[in-house]
A and B are shown apart, each in its own frame.
Chain A
């Protein structure tokens, strides 16, 4: 059975993955979306967010009457498998929840980059060679190409300049 950290991590991971898909559709970031039709991004994203919240509040949380969590010191004191003090059901401390939140968002971002780069590997940048100097920077570049293509392009351009 998953410990509370696992339940929380999965919740944030799913919800962040959903938010990233909705944001990619909203911003027209083809290279970050998993789908050809952006409206599927909205549907998939909404399902992931709703699924994440249902998982945490209905399925995964062993104590739905509490916002259950614990501190890192509890992990050492009571162990990973049952980190809650036996008498008080306390919550994951803020510091710990922030760490796991950031980790889950990071993993969701990596997953988004990996899946979109694989499923959209045929996406061809529409920017002509002569306009490469004015090519959009940052996330905007992902409207025309995947993250992997963008990184490859900047590495190639970097080598070309040397």
Chain B
């Protein structure tokens, strides 16, 4: 375990060591690692997916993909809450090594492990990808990967926090995909109900 932690910290300092050298890269990473940027873009993509379709068949797939992603987010929240409540209370890099970390964002105070941002962004992307494999899902994955890298770059997470978050997000999406299949015909009824009101 110590070897893993040590490797994790070595990788963290290598990536975080890049911060502060190129202002444009710092700005970009701060933007992607921001609490709002990705978590605005990705739900807006879901909104587009819900309304933007060209055929009835495409609409069905799109809207089920949105349902899958939304359930995955709910599950991710539950898992993260459980882990932060009962799991290891790992200090943020900037708290553990205040003099060594290039912190180029505000100092978070909650536990570092696991990364909720990584979990949520991957839950969104995987949830959509499981139902609809296309450019939009690929774009969501791209944004999620950028966010994960940025969180280490700006000095708020260790790589291991990110890996755990990604795993949680993917598992939650797989579970959401399974739940949607198990509870069928409820999703169908739900979609029919909102279609009556011209909202889906």
A residues with a Cβ closer than 8 A to B are 8, 11-12, 15-16, 19-20, 22-24, 26-29, 32, 49, 56-57, 65-67, 69, 88-91, 94, 97, 101, 105, 136-142, 147, 150-151, 154
Contact = CB atoms under 8 A, between A and B. Distances in A.
Contacts of A23: 47-48, 50-52
**Which of A69, A138, A151 counts the most chain B CB atoms within 10 A?**
A138
B109 A97 contact: no
Which bracket fits the contact residues of B?
20 to 34
A27 B54 contact: yes
Nearest to A147: B198
Contacts of A147: 198
A67 B36 CA distance: 7
Majority secondary structure of chain B interface residues (helix, strand, loop or mixed): helix
Interface of B: 31, 34-37, 39-40, 43-44, 47-48, 50-54, 56, 59, 77, 105-107, 109, 116, 194-200
Nearest to B34: A67
Contacts of A94: 77, 116
Contacts of B53: 27, 139
Nearest to A137: B195
29 contacts: A16-B44, A16-B47, A19-B48, A20-B47, A20-B51, A22-B48, A22-B52, A23-B50, A23-B52, A26-B54, A27-B51, A29-B51, A57-B31, A67-B34, A67-B37, A67-B105, A67-B106, A88-B107, A90-B106, A90-B109, A97-B35, A97-B36, A101-B40, A105-B43, A136-B56, A138-B194, A138-B196, A147-B198, A151-B198
Contacts of B116: 94
B196 A154 contact: yes
Contact of B35 (A29, A49, A69, A150): A69
B52 to A, nearest CB: 4
B124 to A, nearest CB: 13
A27 B63 CA distance: 14
Contacts of A150: 198
Nearest to A61: B36
